[in-house]
Amino acid sequence: MGKIYLIRHGETDSNLGHKFQGQMDLPLNGTGLSQARQMAQYMASKKIDAIYSSSMLRARMTAAELAMSRNLPYRSLDLLKEISFGDWEGLEYAEITARWPKEMEAFLHHPAEWEPPHGETFAAAQERCRLAFEHIFAEQGHDKNIAIVSHGGIIRLQLCLALGIPLNNLWRLSVYNVSVSTLSDWQGNLCVDTMNVADFLQRSVEAHVI
């Protein structure tokens, strides 16, 4: 029975400023690099056969710390990129709420019905998550221990898939920077063992949404 470790990237300046990043390709900041190293130390006791990462820089920088600590390569996948927020990317919550009040209301309370301006729906992004799982299992089989480094939105969607949670309950799942959520792959069925483990960090963490 294999294990799947879903790991969110470390902190970026946009996380700190409560801005929507989406598919803006931003690096980790100093705190994010420290978080990634602490995550790698936490994962040291766990057996890992393969590491996959979103192709975005902040995820690859996080995955690189884990890969170096294990002397393993990592594979990057476009399927694991964060959700595209279209015209909202780079903007703060207050500005988005002022300019798109109805859309923000849907985003927060009815995400399954949310349609971003020039962006990607949660349903479309979740289909990417499903395809990413299929791709990884096709390469690795179902008995390997696999670390997957990606993004807050993507990990929530992966957890919704595994648990059968409706997309309108998406925001009931917390996913902190560098948190680790663990799935067991039991005969092709994904079972959630733990979610949002980040108590290995040396300082308190915030639940940055995106």
Q: Residues 88, 22: contact at Cβ < 8 Å?
A: yes
Given the residues 82, 89, 103, 120, the one annotated as active site: 82
| Residue linked to tokens 């971003």 | 116
pLDDT band at residue 202, thresholds of 50, 70 and 90? confident
Give the DSSP letter of residue 135.
H
Which pLDDT belongs to residue 210? Answer: 58
* Tens digits of residue pLDDT in 114-145: 988 999 999 999 999 999 999 999 999 999 99
Provide the pLDDT for residue 68: 97
Residues whose CB falls within 8 Å of the CB of residue 123, separated by 6 or more in sequence, listed in order? 112, 167
Computed from CA positions of residues 102, 104, 109, 113, in that sequence, does the dihedral angle turn out positive or negative? positive
Q: Which residue has the tokens 């079972």?
A: 191
**Residue 207 confidence class, pLDDT cut points 50, 70, 90:** very low
Q: What does the angle CA 37 – CA 149 – CA 152 come to, to the nearest 5 degrees? A: 100
11 is catalytic: no
The residue type at 67: A
Per-residue confidence (pLDDT) for residue 203, from 0 to 100: 63
Number of H helices, E strands in the chain: 7, 6
CA distance 96 to 109: 15
pLDDT tens digit sequence for 155-175? 999 999 999 999 999 999 999
Calpha distance 22→133 (Å, rounded): 20
Q: Is 9 a catalytic residue?
A: yes
Cβ 74 vs Cβ 81: under 8 Å: no
Distance CA 118, CA 89 (A): 10
Residue 77 to residue 196: CA distance in whole angstroms: 22
Q: How far is 187 from 10, CA to CA, in rounded Å?
A: 32
Residue 13, token pair as written in the block: 């300046």
pLDDT at 208: 55
Closest CA to 15 of 121, 152, 159: 152
Q: What are phi and psi of 39, to 5 degrees?
A: -60, -45
Contact 28, 10 (CB under 8 A): yes
What is the residue-averaged pLDDT of the chain? Answer: 94
Per-residue pLDDT of 67-113, as tens digits, reads 999 999 999 999 999 999 999 999 999 999 999 999 999 999 999 99
